[in-house]
Structures are given as C-alpha cells and as structure tokens.
Chain A
Amino acid sequence: MKIRKFLAIALAGAMTLSLAACGGSGSAGSAGSGSGNAGGGSESAAGAGESTAEVENVVVAIPTFFDVKDAQMVADAINAISAEKYGVTVTLEFIALGNWAQQTNLLLTSDEVDVLAFYQTPLTTFIKNNQALPLENYVANASDEFKAVWSDAELQGTSMNGHIYSIPNLRNFGNIRGLDIDENIAAEFGIENGQHMTMDEVSDFLYAAHEKYPDRYAIVPQAGSSMVSGWTWDGLGDGKFIGVLEDCGQDLTVKNLFDTDDFRDFCSYTRKWYQDGLTMADALSNTEDGKNLIRAGKAVCCLENYAVDTAEGCIRTIIIDPWAVSNSYAELSYGINTNSSKPDAAWKALEMFYIDKDICELLTNGIEGTHYTVNEDGTTTFTESDGYQMAAIAWVLPYSGYAHPMAANGPTYFEDLIEFNNSCAKSKGLGFAFDSTSVANQYTACCNVMDKYYTAIMSGTVDLESTIEQANAEFEAAGLADIIAAKQEQLDAFLAAQ
C-alpha cells in the first residue's frame, strides 16, 4: 500500500517535472536558436579577426509572401561582411504577410526585434503607440552615402512633428492607373502597351470586347472585390479615404470622397458597365486576382495601378498619369523598435542595408550560384533552388537599388524605378499624415460606413445616387464633418510650416 502511494506521488512529481521541463526546454530551445544565430555571427567575426565583444547581433523583421528557407544561409553571408565592416551581425526574420500585423505587434512589445518594416498598419499608428524610435539624430550623423540615397524632402515623408521615424524603402512611390488587357485581344483591337486611354475609350473598348467575347467578363476587379486600388483622390495618409483631396492631390480642400466629381465620374462608368453586364456579376464576392482571371481566359481586362513593372500575358495602358499620394513614402518603411536594447547597433544594420552594395545584393538576390545566376545583360535568373526568392518581391526590402534586377524586369529596372519616382507628379500634401487621435470615435464610425459602401459603389453593383445619399446620411451621423475639419486644419498647419 505504502509503496503504491509512494509510486503514485513519485509519478505525479515526475509528471510535474516533465511538464515544467517541457516549458523550460521550449524557451531554452528558442533562446538556443537565438544565441546560435549570434554564435554564427561571432564565429564569422572571429574568422575576420575582429574582437567578438564589439559585434552585436540585430534582429531584422521583413515581410514576405512565401517561405524563405535559406534565410539563415543568406544572413551568414551578410554577417561575414558586416561583422568586420560595421560591427554588427543580423538575424533575418521573414514573416508571412498574413501574420505580419499580429506578429510584429507582439514583437514590438518586447525587444525581440530591433529593425523592422512599418507596414500594413499606418506609420502614424506606430508613432502614436510609441512603437517607432525617432531617428533624426542617427540620420544627421549618417554617412554621406546614406544621405545620397534619400533627400531631406523624401525623409519628410516618414516624419511627424519634426521627428524622422523611419527610412523609406525603394519601391514605386507613385502609380499609374490604367487598364491591363489580355495581350492577344489588345492586338486584335490595335491597342498598344503604354498607350493613353480616356475613360470613354475604355468604355468603347469594353462594349466592343464584350460583343466579341461574350463568354468572358469584359472587366473584373483588380483584386478581390476592389475595382482598383486608389484613383485620383488622396486620402492624406488614410487608406480609407475619410476626407480626401481631389484631382491627384492638387486641390487643397479636404472633401467627402462621395461628394467629389472625381469619384462620381468614375462610378458613373462602372455602374453603367455593371448594368450592361460587362462587369463580373459576383464582383463583390470575388477573391481572385484580376490578372489571373485574364490569363485564365475568363476576363478581358482589369484596372490596375503600376509603375515600371510589367504583367505577364497583358499589355498595360495609361488612364491616369503617374502621381504619388501624400503618404506614399510612409506606406512601407524601415525603422527601429522603441524597445530595442541596442538602438545604436540597430541603426548600423539599418544604414548598411541602404549603403552597402554587397549586402544589398545578398539581401535581394541571395547567394550567387545557389539562388540565382547572372545573365550576360546583367539581369538574374533563379536557379532550381527556391530557398531565397525575395528578388521577386524586392519592393518589400529596404533597398535593392544596387542589386542585379530579375530578367523579367529588364536590365535597367532599378534605374527606371528611381527615375520614375523622381519624375512622377506628387500630391501637394506629400509628407502629410493625418493624426486621427482627436476624432478617434468619429473615425472608427466613419471607417465602418466607408467599408460598407466603398467597394460596392466603386464596382458599380449598387445604384449610384441613392446609395451615395444613404451613405452620406450615415456619414453625417458618424461625424464625418468633424474629421474633415480636423484634417483640413492639420493640413493647413502642415502646409504653412513648409
């Protein structure tokens, strides 16, 4: 009896211990992997003959669309250079876009991440939550190479109240709005790549194409239920468009989007298309990408925003010339976590991503021979390995301007991109970001109203006048006027300060 009791207690104790050990080994495991990375870094540093004590390891979080299996291999290659040259090593954390907002929010509560992309959530929110470390002192003391990458005016785009909170990354800051058309059908109708079209010409083409290809949708949403991402209105740092500037940000009066001529013009076209059966009937429940539908032979064309990139199987026309919205620089930028325990090392790592050509090449393309090969014209082709294909989404990386472009994008892709950014028209509110704190309740309520109607009206699935009337009544009740007044006031103050 006694023995049994003893055994039972011993077993229970063992269970407790093993459970505790499970928890323990879990955290020890992750800590181990962390220090393993750091160890890898310091090893290479030791190899380079540097004292290991000075090399600090920085965790960098980068959004991705796919699994990056060889992240550690690339990080090791970067560290082999950076440990000696900059005194830092990096751990690259690639986080899938679907989990990005949640996971970075958690990472930001501690110092588990040092450098990260401010993405998906507006930069102003990160600033308001005190998640982004002000960088102006670092920028002021930065190397000349760094200062050559971004002008002071450009850094205004990621600043607020005189503090620089993040560094823009290299991608297209402006967008052309145009029509992507199936290349074969475009050829039949004599429409060429890069051709300008008015909305009336688009409309004529759609009716003609519908007649000739009745089995295809003449036009489908750009992606999901969204007819097109943005148009000629500027939300002033607010992707929900609660209070906008019309006319590509050239008109400085903040207005209700639904009352602007730009919006009503656009929607009068899409409404007519929908009523005449040109638009996909289930546009609001669509989950497909428009270009995929075109390539699959289900659709003729879709509206699109783009810069210098091309779309396989489609030609691209221009309806609205390239222009940049006011928060274009802040939409995706890299900064430092306020809770980082080593901000100085974090800055060194951030800076080297923008100035070191070899590191940029590694971060963009991976390791030559393993992940890509360089063609004769200086473009790259992926190898069989799919371990590192960030080049396909180089626009999420800090800076790829020094890297070899992919063959599909052409040999002068990055030069073209930088040229495109310099030449495209900019909203007069460029650099302004609306702070919704003072009208937070109204803003939440108006966002709900906007979510309710925006995509539906844009796609033409509902009657224009009656729905706008209904929406405006709800906007009024939700306090849109307060938001517009606050936005106008902040914008005027911003413009006066310039």
Chain B
Amino acid sequence: MDKHLVSPNPHIHAAVSTESLMRDVIIALLPAIIVSVLFYGWGELLILAVSALSCVLFEWAIAKFLFKDTALFCCPAALVTGLLLAMNLPVSTPWWIVVLGALFAIGVVKMSFGGIGQNVFNPAIAARVFLLVSFPQQMTHWTAPAGFIHSVDAFSGATLLGQVPVLGALEADKLVSLQTLLYNIGGSAGEISALALLVGWAYLLIRRVIKPWITLSIFATVAVVAGIFHLADPTLYTGPLFNLLTGGVILGACFMATDYVTSPMSTWGGVIYGVGIGFLLMMIRYFGSYPEGVSFAILLMNMTVPLLNRWFHGKKYGRA
C-alpha cells in the first residue's frame, strides 16, 4: 500500500464479531435441532426452515425499506431468532402460524424497538407467547413423533408437564428417568433432548460466547424451589429433577435467558435475573393455569433488565 492507515489505538482486534458470535449460537443449537429432526421428521425440518427463512426475510426487508439502514440487518442474529422460535413450537404448527410468529418476533418485538441490540424482550419467546395466547389450540396440540427414529415408549397427546394434573405429582415424578435426559417426547420440538441442549450450552461456554451464571442460577433456583415444595408435600408438588428436565427449562435457561440483549450485563445482575426466572417459572408451574412457565418467567424478568443493569455493576479498580 502506498498510503498507510492511521487510527487511534488499539491497532488489532480480537477474532470476534457479532456475526461470529451468532454463528456460534447456531452451531450450539445444531445438536438439539438434529435430534428434533430425527424424532419428528420432515415436518420439523419444514417448521425450522419456514421460521428461519421468514425471520431473515422480515429483518432484511424492515431494515432495508423501513429503516433504510442495512447495518441493522444481521443475518445470523435473525437466523438464531428463527431457529429458537421454531424450536419452541409443536411440530404440528401450521406454516402460516409460524410465519405470523416470525413477523411478530422480528417486526414487533425486535425492529419496532429499534432493531438489533435495542429490544426489551427476547423476540423468540415473545413470539411464542403471542402465538400461545392467539392460537391456544394449535399451540398445545402435541402429536406423536413420526420421524426417523421410533421410540417404543413414546406417548402422545400431552407433555410430561401436562400429565401432572392428570396423573398427580407422585406418578408424574416417576415418568422422569435417565431416558428423559436423552430424549423427552412431547412438547415443543426443540425441547426433545436435554443432553443435546446441554452439549450446545457447553460449546457456548467453551467458546466463551456466554457466561454460565444466568443458566446455573436458573437451574439452582428451580431445584431449590421444587425441592422445598416437594419435601413439603410430594403428592401435590413434583420434584426438582422432574422440573429441571421437563418443559423448556433447559432450552430457556441455556439459550433464551442468556440472550445478550435481554439479559443483564453484570455477573450479579445475571444471578438475580436467573433466580427471578427460576422462581417465577416454578410459581407458574405450581400455581398458575398454564402448565409451562418458562416463557412467561423470562418475559417478566426481561422487563427488569434495565433496572438490574442500573443497580449492578462490576467492581471498579481502586474504588470501594
């Protein structure tokens, strides 16, 4: 080069960009996605594709034509939203509901707040809750898996959590075994394998994409709250293991609650946030009318993030 660059320091940069971080999240989601496709087959693949494609398309179109600023369009970030949304839907969801959900996630929850980095709520979760209250029938219609792997003990009709009022807490607790860790039939497609989700989470930790504190504090709170209630009356309240392994706790704690934009930045803020999610979700499960509380708990705690960011800061050097 005949003319050289001049800029303030630093002159080098870490090998990390918004795109690379989001790519890592997608890679981390792959094990769970593969397992869900194996169990649910082409239908699941279709939902994933429709959701991801429409999220990317909506984000690009809104950034390009409404904001007229393509810097707002981050393809991998929109993909993450799309995949997470798909993983939170039952496999039988009609395609147009998926598209509607994607439009809500990107258009209303993300872009209307100003786009990437500005949204208050996690787009995928907010869209899921939107669909849940708008289409309660379709959204709780759980079908038996008809994928490439057939499970003998698969049962259809309801999720494990949905079994609680039917069977009672004692019987429901017995349904949870080591097998549940590997695969857990019924419920949203993405929740099928706790192990696959945890593998993805471990990948994110190793790549230093996220820190473990939020996820761990959710797990700990769920375990403690469920433990206390379960000890008090095991016939009414399901135990810690059941509550950790069923529903979207692992998916929510590992991938949704840890979303950069809608979670606190400081470690202690993150811990409080996690404890809040764990506590709220257990309250909804035990006392609410919905069997599943992860989405609502995360959305509620999303609202506290600005406050948590204001109250909790890292330790400053040389200041008490």
Do the two chains bind?
no
